[in-house]
């Protein structure tokens, strides 16, 4: 089966310059990354600030091109000018700041922006806008101004705007970083819904561990490299290694880890509160 | 509070004028303005006044709102009338010292005053009944022929609508920065004008930086959503002339012809 996204020895460097524009040095933001994502998966990419995860995400949408190596989206090489717009249509992107990615002055107009750019006929645009607003449960707000919405609602509008382009894959670059806990829940629920109901591949970049627990696969990045890769269970079993990478683990997992250290016989790892309760019951 | 700011001065209500195609309204307003400058006699102005009153009546906008715009141009109006009154050469009616008021002066002053008032009323009627969004759409469509001479019409209208979208956001941001500076002892309210202007610098610098950052983010988001200029773009809400628009155009045409015939040709 064709991979949704595949990177092959991906390297990205940018040149730092001082105020006069002289080259100060070269920074490797991404260093030899090989990863592949199967269609329909829910993928999480973790990493602390500056680990290169956002830079990596921008490669999946052809917003940045590799310095060395290759990125394929659905079998298309991102550097290929011929496929540029196909790549951007198939791999939609959600950014961090909800205010800076809404273009329309009315919710429905913003959702229609992508299809308008793709040259979709007017009637079909309306159909797509209807269905995508329903998919993120924002159809009640279709006539509102984005300025009146909460952060979580704005981010859901952005998601609807991407779905309206009928992508196969959605890349979310820290979509919840600027939201309150409620907004965070709304957005993650919307993303999960898309993955499960519509079968869209979701790549979630985040540093909130709780959002990662249900992912199919997790990549952990540090200094531009993928340092850990596996299911959430495999990743969170290594609490000490994650700590060394300046990453936390979900609270429950941390609690179980500490309990285990002080001698309570608990299985490793524990990801949800329910699991912990069951495990503690078994201990009695 | 700042979120509720209305741009332009759109007055939300239902009316025939509101439902007209923005292009018709723009063309209508321009024809009206031009007609004001072609008309040469009293009858012409009566026709223009009747037309304007009919439009106001049809628009369901309370006259209070329409005349509010007049306050802003009161001084302009006063100065125009005074200059015309005193500085027009011709047959003197009253004269004292070096100043004289001529018959032509009175005539010209009244004409200029009426013109200005009508002009402002007419154009604010347009902005009161058309959303800024519709207005930019209409302008883009009307200016399309300029594309042939390489005027980036689509880009200009896109810039206008993005600006409209970001004005409330930037206002809120200004407010935030101002409060942050005030919390650290900045003073925006006292001192001479020079001092107050100087105190705005620490406000404007962060505001500009943040505006550039936003612009950068927005450009990236637009590209990610396949934006590539006006070529091959379809419209979600295309402008289509309806029956009412055709009728309105006919009425406007009729008005212009009337103005020309009665205000310029028949009675000189």
Asked if A117 reaches chain B (Cβ–Cβ under 8 Å), the answer is yes
Six-digit token pair at B252? 């406007």
ipTM over 0.90: no
Compute the mean pLDDT over every residue in chain A, rounded to the nearest whole number: 89
- Kindly tell me if the per-residue pLDDT of A64 is higher than 60: yes
Question: Which among A85, A95, A112 is the nearest to B221, CB-wise?
Answer: A95
Give per-residue pLDDT as tens, B58-98.
988 888 877 776 777 888 889 988 888 888 887 777 777 77
Q: How far is the alpha carbon of A169 from chain B, nearest alpha carbon, in Å?
A: 13
Six-digit token pair at B189? 């309210």
Computed over its alpha carbons, how large is the radius of gyration of chain B? 24
CB atoms within 10 A of CB A175: 30
Give per-residue pLDDT as tens, B165-175.
888 888 888 98
Q: Are strands A217-222 and A42-46 parallel, antiparallel or unpaired?
A: parallel
Asked if A121 reaches chain B (Cβ–Cβ under 8 Å), the answer is yes
Six-digit token pair at B112? 């200029």
Six-digit token pair at B137? 């759409």
List the strands of the sheet with A5-17, edge to edge.
A23-37, A5-17, A68-73, A76-77
- SS3 state at A76: strand
Mutate one of A105, A106, A114 to test the B interface: name it (highest B CB count within 10 A): A105
Task: Inspect the interface and report whether the beta carbons of B236 and A112 lie closer than 8 Å.
Answer: yes
Q: What 8-state DSSP symbol labels residue B130?
A: S
How far lies B166's CA from each of A104, B23, B160, B171, in Å? 10, 24, 10, 8
Token pair 């990177």 in the structure block, residue? A7
Instruction: Give me the DSSP letters along B154-193.
Output: HHHHHHHHHHHHHHHHHHHHHHHHHHHHHHTT---SSS-H
How far lies A126's CA from each of A11, A123, A148, B101, B132, in Å? 41, 5, 22, 65, 22
- Kindly tell me if the per-residue pLDDT of B10 is higher than 80: no
Computed over its alpha carbons, how large is the radius of gyration of chain A? 20
Question: Which among B168, B214, B233 is the nearest to A116, CB-wise?
Answer: B233
- Kindly tell me if the per-residue pLDDT of B123 is higher than 60: yes
Higher pLDDT pick, B3 / B114? B114
Task: Inspect the interface and report whether the beta carbons of B169 and A147 lie closer than 8 Å.
Answer: yes
- SS3 state at A30: strand
A269 preceded by cis ω (within 30°)? yes
């Amino acid at each position: 089966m064709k991979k949704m996204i595949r990177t092959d020895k991906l390297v990205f460097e940018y040149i730092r310059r001082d105020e006069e524009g002289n080259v100060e040095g070269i920074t490797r933001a991404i260093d030899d990354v090989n990863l592949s994502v199967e269609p329909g998966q829910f993928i999480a990419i973790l990493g602390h600030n500056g680990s290169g995860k956002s830079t990596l995400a921008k490669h999946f949408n052809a917003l940045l091109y590799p310095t060395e190596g290759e990125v394929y989206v659905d079998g298309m090489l991102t550097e290929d000018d011929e496929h540029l717009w196909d790549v951007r249509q198939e791999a939609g992107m959600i950014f961090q700041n909800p205010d800076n990615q809404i273009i329309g002055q009315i919710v429905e107009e913003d959702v229609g922006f992508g299809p308008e750019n793709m040259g979709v006929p007017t009637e079909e645009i309306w159909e797509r806008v209807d269905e995508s607003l329903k998919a993120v449960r924002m159809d009640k707000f279709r006539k509102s101004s984005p300025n009146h919405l909460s952060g979580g609602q704005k981010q859901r509008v952005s998601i609807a705007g991407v779905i309206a382009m009928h992508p196969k894959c959605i890349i979310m670059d820290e979509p919840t970083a600027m939201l309150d806990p409620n907004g965070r829940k709304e957005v993650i629920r919307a993303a999960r819904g898309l993955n499960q109901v519509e079968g869209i591949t979701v790549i979630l970049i985040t540093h909130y561990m709780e959002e990662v627990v249900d992912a199919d696969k997790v990549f952990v990045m540090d200094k531009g490299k993928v340092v850990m890769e596996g299911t959430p269970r495999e990743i969170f079993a290594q609490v000490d290694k994650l700590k060394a990478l300046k990453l936390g683990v979900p609270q429950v997992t941390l609690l179980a880890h500490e309990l285990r250290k002080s001698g309570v016989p608990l299985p490793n790892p524990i990801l949800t509160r329910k699991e912990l309760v069951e495990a503690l019951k078994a201990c009695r | 509070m700042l979120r509720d700011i209305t741009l332009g001065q759109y007055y939300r209500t239902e009316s025939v004028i509101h439902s007209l195609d923005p292009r018709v309204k723009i063309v209508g307003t321009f024809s009206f303005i031009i007609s004001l400058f072609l008309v040469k006699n009293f009858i012409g102005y009566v026709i223009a006044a009747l037309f304007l009153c009919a439009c106001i009546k049809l628009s369901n906008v309370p006259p209070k709102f329409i005349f509010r715009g007049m306050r802003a141009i009161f001084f302009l109006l006063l100065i125009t009338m005074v200059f015309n009154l005193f500085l027009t050469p011709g047959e003197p009616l009253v004269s004292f010292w070096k100043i004289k008021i001529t018959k032509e002066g009175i005539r010209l002053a009244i004409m200029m005053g009426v013109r200005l008032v009508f002009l402002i009323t007419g154009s604010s009627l347009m902005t009161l009944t058309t959303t800024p969004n519709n207005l930019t759409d209409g302008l883009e469509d009307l200016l399309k022929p300029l594309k042939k001479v390489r005027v980036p019409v689509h880009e200009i209208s896109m810039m206008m609508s993005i600006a409209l979208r970001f004005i409330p956001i930037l206002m809120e941001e200004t407010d935030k920065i101002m409060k942050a500076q005030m919390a650290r002892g900045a003073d925006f309210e006292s001192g001479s004008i020079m001092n107050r202007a100087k105190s705005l610098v620490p406000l404007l610098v962060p505001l500009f930086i943040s505006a550039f950052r936003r612009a950068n983010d927005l450009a990236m988001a637009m590209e990610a959503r396949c934006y590539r200029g006006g070529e091959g773009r379809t419209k979600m809400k295309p402008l289509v002339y309806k029956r009412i628009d055709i009728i309105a155009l006919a009425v406007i045409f009729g008005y212009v012809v009337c103005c020309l015939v009665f205000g310029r040709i028949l009675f000189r």
